[in-house]
Each structure stands twice: as C-alpha cells, then as structure tokens.
Amino acid sequence: MSTYKRATLDEEELVDSMEGEVYPNGIQVNFRGSGSSKGCWAERTHVEKRLLVLTVALSAGFLACICVLLFQFRTRLCLTESCISVTSSILSSLDRTVDPCEDFFSYACGGWIKANPIPDGHSRWGTFNKLWEHNQAILKHLLENTTAQVSSEAERKVQRYYQSCMNETKIEELQATPLVDRIKKLGGWNISGPWQEDDFNQTLLQLAAQHHIWPFFSIYVSADSKNSSVNIIQVDQAGLMLPSRDYYLNKTQNEKVLAGYLTYMVQLGMLVGGQDEAETRRQMEEILDFETTLANITIPQEKRRDEELIYHKMPARELKNLSPAVDWMPLLNAVFSPVEINETEPVVVYAKEYLEQVSYLILNTDRRILHNYMIWHLVRKGAGFLDQRFQDAEEKFMEVMYGSKKTCLPRWKYCISDTDINLGFALGAMFVKASFAEDSKAVAEEMIKEIKMAFEESLATLPWMDEETRRSAKEKADAIYDMIGYPKFIMDPKELDKVFKDYDAVPDLYYENVMQFLNFSARVAAEQLRKPPNRDQWSMTPPTVNAYYSPTKNEIVFPAGILQPPFYTRSSPKALNFGGIGVVVGHELTHAFDDQGQDRLSSISLIHLLEFIFLLSTPPHTLFLLRCLPLRAVSFLNP
C-alpha cells in the first residue's frame, strides 16, 4: 500500500525545475529565478525600510485628515420641509432691488413691509402683531368650540366670559343701564342728573374697593424692592386719563388730541344721561382743567428712574400727615379686606411730593368738581363694556389720538383680547395644550443657557469693568431665573380651579362679568399681603406675544405666545432660532444691567454694592461711560 507524502518546495527549486519548459503549443516560457540578485525591497537597509513605512503611513494619515476636513466643512444644505419653508420666507422678506451697502434695513425687510401693509384698525404693524393675530385665531377656535371637552371649570368660565362679550344683542338691549345703576349707588353724577353731595372719602373708598379705580393715587401690593422676601403695601401717583402728562401740558403740540378728548368726554356724558350738551361740555371742561392741574403736579417718568430717590418707607399712620385730605386707615382696610391693617403697617410711598400736593389740591377744589372727576373715571373705565354707541365714541377718539380706526376690527378680536387680559391664565391653559409642545421648554431653556454663557464671556472683554464688579455682574447673571412657556399650575385642572373658585361668569351679562372680575382680582391682591412673594407668579399670560425682565425677582419670562414662528420653531436650524427668540432673550437679559436693573444684585436687594465698588475703583472718565451707557442702551432697546 502506497502512502502520500506532501512535498515541500521552495521558490528556487520550483523555478529551477521549470526553467526552459516547452508547452505543447510550441511556446517556450522561460522563468528566470532571482538567483543571487536581490529585489528592490530586499536591497533596502532595515532603517530605510522603517522610514519608508513611516512615510507611507504619514502620507495616508495626512490624506485621511484632508478628506475628513473637506467632509466636515463642505457646504451642507438643509433640505427639510422646515428649512425650505423658512428659506422661502426669508427670501420673500428681502427687497433685492436695494443695495444692502446703502440701506441694509430696506434690503433685509423691504419685501416683508411691502407684503404686509398696516391693516385697518392698527397704528403699527410688525412680526409681533402678526403673531398675535395668529394666536388670536387659535384662541377663537378654542373659545367658540363649546362642544369640545375642557379639563377644568376655570376653562368653562373663560368660555362663558367670552360668550358674554360676544353677546352683542344683550349688550345693545341693556345700553347704558349697567353703568347708570353703578353711578346711582355712588350718589349720582351732576352731569347726568341729581347727585348727593356725599362724603368725598366715602366715594373714593367705594371706587377703590369695589371697582379698583384710583382717581388720585394707586394702592397695590408688591414685593418690597429693598427686601424681596416680603410683600408690602405700595402707594404711587395715578389719575391721568391720557397716556402721559405731556398731553395736558404741551397744549400747542397736542391741541388736536385735547379737543378730541373733550369731545369724547361730552359724548359719554350725554350717553350716560346728560340732558343739555352745552352744560355737559361746561362741566367736562372743568374736569379737564382739573386733570391738567393734576398733570402739573405729576412727577415725569424720567425723574423717577432712580428708585433709591423715590423710595420712602413709613408706617401707615404717617400717610395722614403726608396727605391729610384722605382718610387713609378706613381706605386701606376697605381695599385689603378681610386683611386687617393697623397704623403700624409698613407702607412704601413712591410719590411723596405728589401726595403732599394732591392733598392740597383736593382740599382746595370744589366738591362738585371732585365728585364729577371721580365718577368720570368710572364712566371712562366702563364705557368699553357697553353698547355700540360707546364703542363708536371711543373709536373716534382713538382715531384722533393714534390715527387708526378700530371699526375694522371684528368683535371677536376685541373679546379675545379682553378675555386674555382678565382671565388669561385659564385661557392660557387652553392655548398651551393646543399649540405649545412640551419639549419646546427644554430647547428654549438650553438656548437661554447658551446666551447667558456668551454674555458672561463678554464681561471678560470689558476694559472699563474692574474684577470685583465683573464678579458681581457674573453672579447676578448666574442668578437670573428664567420662566418658559407658562406657570405650572395652569396645567393642573385642580390647581387652576382653586385659583378661580371665587369668580364666576354668566353668558349674557358682560358688564357685570367685568365688574365681578375687578372685585375678584382685588381680593386676590389683598390676600398676597400676608404671603411671601411667589417667584413663580407671572405678570404676563401664556398667549402673550412678548417677554419681560423683573428687577425685584431677577427673572426673565418668555410666554408660550412668543415661542412660535417666526421667533421660534422646533424644527428650524438653531441659527434661525438664535436670530429670532435669541434676540428677545438677549434684550431681556440686558435689562438686568440697565439703569433699572443694575442696582439689584443676585440677592435681589436694593443695595448699591455694585455701584459703590465701581465708584471706588474707577477713574472719572469711566464713570462717565457708566452713566452714559444705560441711557444709550435704554434708548436703543426701547426706541
């Protein structure tokens, strides 16, 4: 039996054995072995071989790096539906007929302006207005869809309130009756009929406690700006019916507005019961003259920006010495009932000189004029909730003042705005569930965090800021509290109902619903006096297209209403969101360091440590910069 034996041949044996082999086709193939000669690689020394391998490896690595960089920095196009949509929007907003080097604003925004003329009923128009109109359309659907299931009784109250505002048939039927009835309970009005020359302080008390009307000054509860851990009663100047004192005092410049205002006053006086137009005009002229005198003693806002100068804390009993025309203790107890107020109750007065002068004015003015003026406040405040005649009178006056007509605005838009003003947090619960994604809060919070970081990094580059001040500024920036979208309680039906449990609305009595809400809100405010300030309490409703910074709380707030396109879109590239809502975030962040927020450090106390350190460590020319910068910032941010 034969056995298989594996043969092993090396290369030289194989080549030698086959050298000169002739194949059957006659072709001779010659194999030449290496013999004693060496190949190229074999001829290399050990060092050369290593260097060659290293060179090849480095070349390959370099080539790989080039490829990675080219891949990383190549032009990448976003072709998602969202990117295409926003690109189209940007392109349509341009006016490419304009040279951007000559007029960049017109180049960037000219197309949008041409495509969005100011609508009838508006004195201005922009992206804020357009977004609010979009939000209104959402709210309209939510409020009018009464068959849809709502999650809380508070939301049903909102729908009833809106229905009462939309019930124009009932409003026209009642005409001025709801307001006339209120006037009678206050002793009548000399303009519309007989009046009882009742006690001045009693009328003032009823207007304040029952209608939240402040003809001469305002009283409210808010956090003490020098100790933000407690709420305190605060008293400030008030009473003017026109937007500012300048309307009364610059008569030449505002002659048309003052004439329109007087006409409006006469029209309302006649609608409420005035019998003789000439006599009504005469008495309204007296009221206007009194308002003008009040404007003269009102401190202009530009002189009230330094809170340290206008802050005066005192026990309540000192109010009587400051302004003896007013019975302060009965007034305070009526306004804050059922909370008891005694003479030692701390009060902050923000208009000390004004209160002294308004007391003198009250003591030296005819009681009839004072009563007419106070009831005029009630008439003006209630006119917007009455029939079309009152609406027409107001529209004519608004046209004179602002140059726009409200007649083109549909009733539903007015009613949505009014519902949002009064019941905005219950309405906000409906809005958030319909149009605000929960993960938007997390994305917005991350954006705010990044903008804060960029802001803090910029502090290191400011040559006029010393290290102590820089550290204090960073601490304040770190301590800024941000609130995104909505307050948490509105998404809990039980908590929401608890907030609105003492308020109710009926579908067909709009004026009464409004008055009831004023009483309700006054009671809620009174309850805050004995509670610590709630940092999570919002001053804007969720559907609002705006944002704000609170100096006393050191917080920035961004409602769900503004976290919508074009300011913010979940699916848009981050650059677009930074250019949209990021601008708003940066704007509010800088308010922490303007002339209203700069005095409050991270502890939110009104201690001038920041300024004090700055004064001690800064040369005079830099102090000049400090004083100029806030004013420039304010004029730039609030044109």
pLDDT tens per residue, range 302-320: 899 888 899 999 999 999 9
Quickly count: other Cβ atoms within 10 Å of residue 588's Cβ: 23
The listed range with the strongest mean pLDDT (75-84, 146-155, 330-339, 576-585) is 330-339
CB 576 within 8 A of CB 594: no
CB 526 within 8 A of CB 337: yes
Q: Which pLDDT belongs to residue 594?
A: 73
Q: Is the pLDDT of residue 47 over 50?
A: yes
For all residues of the chain together, what is the average pLDDT?
Answer: 84
Q: Which pLDDT belongs to residue 456?
A: 86
Pairing of strands 555-559, 312-315: unpaired
Share of the chain above pLDDT 90, in %: 54
Residue 39: band (very low, low, confident or very high) from pLDDT cuts 50, 70, 90 = low
CB 345 within 8 A of CB 316: yes
Quickly count: other Cβ atoms within 10 Å of residue 361's Cβ: 17
Residue 425: band (very low, low, confident or very high) from pLDDT cuts 50, 70, 90 = very high
Q: Which CATH superfamily is domain 177-385 in?
A: Neutral endopeptidase , domain2 (1.10.1380.10)
Q: Which pLDDT belongs to residue 407?
A: 57
pLDDT tens per residue, range 363-422: 999 999 999 999 999 999 999 999 999 999 998 998 898 876 655 678 999 999 999 999
- Whole-angstrom Cα distance, residue 126 to residue 546? 13
CB 248 within 8 A of CB 290: no
- Whole-angstrom Cα distance, residue 78 to residue 490? 37
CB 414 within 8 A of CB 388: no
Q: Which residues of 111-122 are buried (b: 16+ CB within 10 A; e: fewer)?
A: bbeeeeeeeebb
- Whole-angstrom Cα distance, residue 444 to residue 566? 14
Mean pLDDT for 241-261 is 94
Residue 597: band (very low, low, confident or very high) from pLDDT cuts 50, 70, 90 = low
Report pTM.
Answer: 0.79
DSSP secondary structure string, 620-632? HHHHHHHHHHHHH
At 497, list the tokens.
Answer: 């109902």
Cβ-proximal residues to 349 (8 Å cutoff; 6+ apart), any chain: 234, 235, 236, 312, 313, 314, 319, 322, 355
Q: Is the pLDDT of residue 220 over 90?
A: yes
- Whole-angstrom Cα distance, residue 40 to residue 60? 22
The CATH code that applies to domain 437-485+546-637 is: 3.40.390.10
Mean pLDDT for 517-544 is 91
Residues forming a β-bridge with 257: none
Residue 20: band (very low, low, confident or very high) from pLDDT cuts 50, 70, 90 = very low
pLDDT tens per residue, range 426-445: 999 999 999 998 888 888 88
Q: Is the pLDDT of residue 13 over 50?
A: no
**Tell me, what DSSP letter sits at residue 117?**
P
- Measured torsion, CA atoms of residues 110, 112, 117, 122, in degrees rounded to the nearest 10: -110
What is Dmax (Cα atoms) for the chain?
146
- Whole-angstrom Cα distance, residue 198 to residue 195? 8
CB 227 within 8 A of CB 535: no
Q: For the chain, which residues make up each domain, given as ranges?
A: 81-115, 177-385, 437-485+546-637
Residue 40: band (very low, low, confident or very high) from pLDDT cuts 50, 70, 90 = low
Residue 16: band (very low, low, confident or very high) from pLDDT cuts 50, 70, 90 = very low
| 126, 204, 211, 516 from 374: Cα distances, Å | 38, 8, 12, 20
Q: Is the pLDDT of residue 217 over 60?
A: yes
Q: Is the pLDDT of residue 280 over 70?
A: yes
Three-state helix/strand/coil letters over 495-538: HHHHHCCCCCCCCCCHHHHHHHHHHHHHHHHHHHHHCCCCCCCC
Residue 37 amino acid letter: S
- Whole-angstrom Cα distance, residue 224 to residue 230? 6
Q: Tell me how many degrees the CA angle 107-586-88 measures, rounded to the nearest 5.
A: 35
Q: Is the pLDDT of residue 22 over 70?
A: no
At 432, list the tokens.
Answer: 């958030």
Residue 53, phi then psi, degrees to nearest 5: -60, -40
DSSP secondary structure string, 130-146? HHHHHHHHHHHHHHH-T
pLDDT tens per residue, range 124-176: 899 999 999 999 999 999 999 988 788 899 999 999 999 999 999 999 999 99
Residue 27: band (very low, low, confident or very high) from pLDDT cuts 50, 70, 90 = very low
Q: Which pLDDT belongs to residue 148?
A: 78
- Whole-angstrom Cα distance, residue 236 to residue 229? 21
